Amino acid sequence: MKNIIFIRHPDKEGNQNTFLDAPAYVGDTTITVRNIAGFSTNQILLIGEYGTEIAEIVKTHPTTPPSGNTITLASALKQNHSTHSIVWILDWDKIRIYRKTPPETSFTLIDEIDITPDQPHTAYSDNNGTLESEYKFEYKNLITNQASLLSDVIPATGFPLEALWGLVEKAYTLFGRQAEKKFTKDWVVEWINEGYRICISKIIQLDNEFYLDEVIFNLQANKNEYLFKEITNKNVRRVKTLEIDYDNNGNFIPAEFITINTAPEFKSLSRDNPVFYLKQNSIVIEPSKFFTDNSKARMRYIYIPSDLSSDAHIPELPKEYALNLVNWALYRMHQADGKHDIGIHFRDLFTDGLTAMISDLQKRHPSLARTFRFPADLY
């Protein structure tokens, strides 16, 4: 079967750029620019912006340096470019594609292709993949032979719409022309995460079990305090229950939650009446004198999801409401663009979606028993 994967163009934010000071035509081997500062031999240039019809990637001449306002190219132009077209220095001009298909256990390089700057993304068709195939890619500089870090895994079926990749693309598409020129991916990701954090905060305020998880961890002889980062890779916000299995036989005994101020004399505690209390980043469990290196604890807790970071990262929200994060990003994008009325429209759409999500969650997950909270003065 044929798998088609779409690869985002490499980020150029912060790279040196200038503008054409005169038109450039098909067949030209030099371009006249406003300023040659930062430009030299053996560089990769993008003339125009990603996704525009006449954008093209060229290279500066390997031995003839820029002089005055002229940059000499390694090969002739394939497109016409008007005065004032932007000229960027790029880090990369190629993409290496890697694939893994079960029962394979590692990724293998299968192709190296040109970046296609005149398209919104570089598309790659693989006629030898399957639905179970997975892909990674890296950008490459053909002049220096340097390569970027490998990407996150891309499934053969592509990222779902609610994954970060899809949310960013949706925001760019709905904003319209020049969105990627005005707003870097990092900005859009941060604005999506702003909306995400608002949603998480509202869900946690419901005091329900939407962000509930459970972990069993090892205790150590005579050790009573355990850092949360040693127990789980999630950000623990509240602990609901804790149980102790002293002998690792599956017999878990519920522990009682106490406050630091009411902590009893731990030496007098029996095996049958364990207790725990919370610090900012840890949990303290007693009586630790009965713990062995085989003892275990089972903790049920409420956590705070981490920010979205990788293209494949899916928000931990009800699936049908994940796309609402795009409305918050569009609110911030239009605000930054000076279109305040349009921005307020998308903010209102986000608020309506948030209200609908909370109402829906209240029906699905009614509030449960009180959870044990961290000391109030810590937050």
Question: With bands split at pLDDT 50, 70 and 90, how would you rate the model's confidence at 270?
Answer: confident
Residue spans per domain, the chain: 1-158, 174-206+306-364, 212-304
For residue 379, pLDDT beyond 50: no
Q: How many residues does the chain have?
A: 379
List pLDDT tens digits, range 189-213.
Answer: 999 999 999 999 999 887 668 899 9
C-alpha distance across the termini of the chain, in Å: 54
Q: How far apart are CA 81 and CA 22, in angstroms?
A: 9
The residues near 224 (Cβ < 8 Å, ≥ 6 apart) are: 266, 284, 285, 286, 288
Q: Quick one: pLDDT at residue 158?
A: 81
Q: Quick one: pLDDT at residue 323?
A: 93
Q: How far apart are CA 370 and CA 287, in angstroms?
A: 24
Q: How far apart are CA 259 and CA 372, in angstroms?
A: 10
Q: How far apart are CA 333 and CA 286, in angstroms?
A: 52
Q: Quick one: pLDDT at residue 293?
A: 94
Cα angle: 296, vertex 298, 303; to 5 degrees: 135
Q: Quick one: pLDDT at residue 311?
A: 86
Helices 324-336, 340-364: axis angle to 10 degrees equals 160
Q: How far apart are CA 236 and CA 226, in angstroms?
A: 13
Question: With bands split at pLDDT 50, 70 and 90, how would you rate the model's confidence at 2?
Answer: confident
For residue 373, pLDDT beyond 60: no
For residue 371, pLDDT beyond 50: no
Query: Are residues 298 and 246 in contact, defined by beta-carbon separation less than 8 angstroms?
Result: no
For residue 145, pLDDT beyond 80: yes
Q: How far apart are CA 275 and CA 267, in angstroms?
A: 12
Q: How far apart are CA 182 and CA 199, in angstroms?
A: 26
Q: Quick one: pLDDT at residue 261?
A: 64
**Residue range 231-238: average pLDDT?**
93
Query: Are residues 99 and 110 in contact, defined by beta-carbon separation less than 8 angstroms?
Result: yes
For residue 86, pLDDT beyond 90: yes
Q: What is the mean pLDDT of the chain?
A: 90
Q: How far apart are CA 236 and CA 181, in angstroms?
A: 39
Q: Quick one: pLDDT at residue 120?
A: 84
**Residue range 48-59: average pLDDT?**
92
Q: How far apart are CA 136 and CA 99, in angstroms?
A: 7
**Residue range 329-350: average pLDDT?**
96
Q: Quick one: pLDDT at residue 372?
A: 43
Closest of 98, 91, 101, 131 to residue 113, by C-alpha: 98
List pLDDT tens digits, range 9-34.
Answer: 998 888 999 999 999 999 999 999 99
Question: With bands split at pLDDT 50, 70 and 90, how would you rate the model's confidence at 181?
Answer: confident
- Residue 273 Cα distances to 256, 268, 296, angstroms: 7, 10, 15
List pLDDT tens digits, range 309-327.
Answer: 988 899 999 889 999 999 9
For residue 370, pLDDT beyond 60: no
Q: Quick one: pLDDT at residue 264?
A: 58
Residue 242: how many CB atoms within 10 A of its CB?
Answer: 23
Token reading at 122? 């570089």
For residue 79, pLDDT beyond 80: yes
Question: With bands split at pLDDT 50, 70 and 90, how would you rate the model's confidence at 259?
Answer: confident
For residue 43, pLDDT beyond 80: yes
Question: With bands split at pLDDT 50, 70 and 90, how would you rate the model's confidence at 160?
Answer: confident
